[in-house]
Amino acid sequence: MNKHAPNPEPIPFIDIAAQRRRLGGAIDAALARVLAHCQFIMGPEVFALEAELAAFCGARHAISCASGTDALLLALMAKGIGPGDAVFCPSFTFCATAEVAALLGATPVFVDVDADTFNIDAASLVLAIDTAKSLGLKPKAVIPVDLFGLPADHNAVLAAAKAADLFVLDDAAQAFGATYKDRKLGALTHACATSFFPAKPLGCFGDGGAIFTDDDGLADAIKSMRVHGHGADKYDNVRIGLTARLDTIQAAILIEKLKIFPDEIAARNRVADRYAEGLADVVGVPKVPAGSTSVWAQYTIRVANGRRDHLAAKLKAEGIPTAIYYPIPLHRQQAYKHFPVGEDGVEVSERLSGEVISLPMHPYLDKPTQDRIISAVRRALAG
Ligand SMILES: *Cc1c(COP(=O)(O)O)cnc(C)c1O
């Protein structure tokens, strides 16, 4: 490619339109069916989707809901988490992870992450549990996040959680479909939450989410709470709940998308492999631990020594978008900075927020376009 080309064609960060071209007919037909039966709330597609999601990840229950944030919130509500309780979460994540704890009046306690996986560090969790106790809080739950599509080290987190009797709620908003020790995320932890926001690996055409669990009692409580805490019927109110259902239309879309999801995961992995091949000698590329697979919600590289802004500007000039997930770790955000940090600090989260940059990643990123991105990154860092 001629790098002096006047107007390089802009590359999309995530190409939702490419998938739409592939699935358009099937989705239009699915929507037409919903428009014909008019059961927009809790229609048959909602229950069909739940059965398929449960089978896909091997969990006993899949409970759909209105967003990934509601999925996290409903799980904590069902466990009765509230004031005086400590909920441990990584500082290097999207705000929703900690937000749900704070919304319920509980105290998010920030834990550091591992520099290689960007995921919660179990050793740091153990120390943060002591910190919470010394502050007079009751350690109740931990929310490991499978950041950028890569599973956290769940066995290590579960071991630390077991010792302190914590509820483990996996925030798999970015990682539905990923595997840990050769098992899909879903039933590995006490509960697992995911999001169907359009830009997530499995996204709908609006907001949506789901909770997975093998625990029958927890599933019943969550099903009740997503519809105003209903009992025998909707006018029997046995709990305080929410309006947090998934729309039938979104379920119908997800049923069609789930059919091609395994193929899309494979395509994302091919894109990730090409990036690693083309960039490993010039930037820090993500490493996938043995026994895990990622669904590559993001392809996030590390660029040290303050060169990140330079790289972003050079790529932008060539029509290549990038994004920074996340520029400010949660313990430094205005809304969260008064919450405690575990006693060994959050130094890795601090460092990563200054070094990470995400490149375009989606299943339809073709080789010539990706080669253009790779060569642009190499040129930007050489000069
Ligand atoms: C997207 C996301 C959420 C929230 O999902 P929504 O569907 O947008 O509410 C929660 N946690 C993480 C890590 C996310 O990336």
Which domains does the chain show, CATH number per domain?
20-111+118-256 (3.40.640.10), 261-382 (3.90.1150.10)
Ligand 1 site, residue 107, Cβ cutoff 6 A: no
pLDDT of residue 334: 98
Atom 1, ligand 1: which residue's CA is nearest? 173
What is the rounded distance in angstroms from the CA atom of residue 50 to the CA atom of residue 48? 5
Mutate to test the pocket of ligand 1, among 195, 196, 242 (most ligand atoms within 8 A of CB): 195
What is the rounded distance in angstroms from the CA atom of residue 138 to the CA atom of residue 131? 11
Ligand 1 site, residue 64, Cβ cutoff 6 A: no
What is the rounded distance in angstroms from the CA atom of residue 92 to the CA atom of residue 114? 10
pTM listed for this prediction:
0.97
pLDDT of residue 4: 52
Ligand 1 site, residue 145, Cβ cutoff 6 A: yes
Beta pairing, strands 85-90 & 138-142: parallel
pLDDT of residue 1: 46
pLDDT of residue 305: 76
Atom 6, ligand 1: which residue's CA is nearest? 68
Ligand 1 site, residue 201, Cβ cutoff 6 A: no
pLDDT of residue 230: 96
Nearest to 361 by CA among 5, 7, 11, 8: 11
Atom 10, ligand 1: which residue's CA is nearest? 96
Ligand 1 site, residue 94, Cβ cutoff 6 A: yes
Ligand 1 site, residue 170, Cβ cutoff 6 A: no
Query: What is the rounded average pLDDT for all residues in the chain?
Result: 96
pLDDT of residue 304: 86
pLDDT of residue 6: 53
pLDDT of residue 288: 97
In the reported structure, the alpha carbon of residue 195 is separated from the centroid of ligand 1 by a whole-number distance in angstroms of 6
DSSP at 149: G
Q: Which residues of the chain are modeled with pLDDT < 50?
A: 1-3
Atom 2, ligand 1: which residue's CA is nearest? 173
pLDDT of residue 17: 85
Q: At what angle do helices 248-279 and 16-37 cross, to 10 degrees?
A: 170
CB atoms within 10 A of CB 338: 8
